Amino acid sequence: HQENNNFCSVNINIGPGDCEWFGVATEYWGVLNKLCEKNGINFLVGSWWPILDDLHEAQVPVYRFIQKPGDLVFINTGCVHWVQAIGWCNNIAWNVGPLTYNQYYAAIERYEWNKLNSCKSIVPIVHLTWNIARNMRVSDRQLFELIKFILTQSLKYVQLTLLYLEEQFHDKLDIRKQLRTSDEPAHYCITCDCEVFNILFVTELDRKHVVRCLNCTLQNDKHLENVVVLYQFPLDDLTTVYDQFQLSLLPILNSPT
């Protein structure tokens, strides 16, 4: 498998036994996806142990190594990997997301691929991107331009959604303000599992309040008669964050004479 949204991961074997690792570079994930399809396995959510002869026949290079107790394994961006214990052992693992162009691009790519395949992205990329813009300085131009592009698309979607609601429903629909709390998790559509940012379409299901995206909401209730629409960030606030997010140029050091 690959980690959530192609993130990196760190894995420590605390023993007492060894682990055997297999890894394939991210460039070959498409080949493995086709092999999974051939075997009736969903690459994104299924479980499959590849046959090494099949990978060799498909000209897929495989890294294979032993992780001893105390060894740390770093799984790079998008690496397809699988692991088994030799005997028995305990492992501690966590995901990490280096703030690099390659990592961010790979995360965005998998985020979009997940949406096309109705698979939930554990990492809420849009929410994460706005947090990066609010709280971090980016000096890599390539990374900055990609983040700015995602912010542009997100801001455009919010504006178009508000415009659509205004034109279609006029005064019949009350869009209520409910600011996001600091510890509030990101929201996902209960129907299609896509991330829902800022504008939440809330309905009651089995005595619980659930969130849907605009498309699924309209399919379920095209007149929005039983829907409460909330916004969590005023448009002016998002615009301010967008405008203030600028490329942070590193100081040029004079070379010693």
Q: Which pLDDT value is given to residue 255?
A: 62
Q: Which pLDDT value is given to residue 170?
A: 81
Percent of the chain exceeding pLDDT 70 equals 98
What are the structure tokens assigned to 190, written together? Answer: 């209960």
Going by pLDDT thresholds of 50, 70 and 90, the confidence category of residue 69 is: very high
- What b-and-e string marks burial along 112-151, b requiring 16 or more CB atoms within 10 Å of the CB? ebbeeeebbbebbbbbbbbebbeeeebebeebbebbbebb
Instruction: Show me where the domains of the chain are located.
Output: 4-96, 124-244
Which amino acid, one-letter code, is at 237?
A: D
pLDDT tens-digit map of 79-113: 999 999 998 999 999 999 999 999 999 999 999 99
CB atoms within 10 A of CB 194: 20
Going by pLDDT thresholds of 50, 70 and 90, the confidence category of residue 254 is: low
Mean pLDDT computed over every residue of the chain? 95
Going by pLDDT thresholds of 50, 70 and 90, the confidence category of residue 252 is: low
pLDDT tens-digit map of 48-58: 899 999 999 99
What is the DSSP secondary structure assignment for residue 171, as one 8-state letter?
G
The percent helix, strand, coil of the chain (3-state, each to 5) is 40, 25, 35
pLDDT tens-digit map of 1-22: 999 999 999 999 999 999 999 9
pLDDT tens-digit map of 27-55: 999 999 999 999 999 999 999 899 999 99
* 242, 234 contact by CB (below 8 A): no
pTM of the model: 0.92
| CATH class for the domain made up of 124-244 | mainly beta
| Averaged pLDDT for residues 172-181 | 91
User: 195: exposed, middle or buried (C-beta count within 10 Å: 0-12, 13-18, 19+)?
Assistant: buried
Q: 34-38, 214-218, 251-255: lowest mean pLDDT where?
A: 251-255
pLDDT over 80 (residue 229): yes
Alpha helices for the chain (secondary structure H): 29-38, 52-57, 101-116, 125-135, 141-169, 214-220, 235-244
- Residue 239 β-bridge partners: none
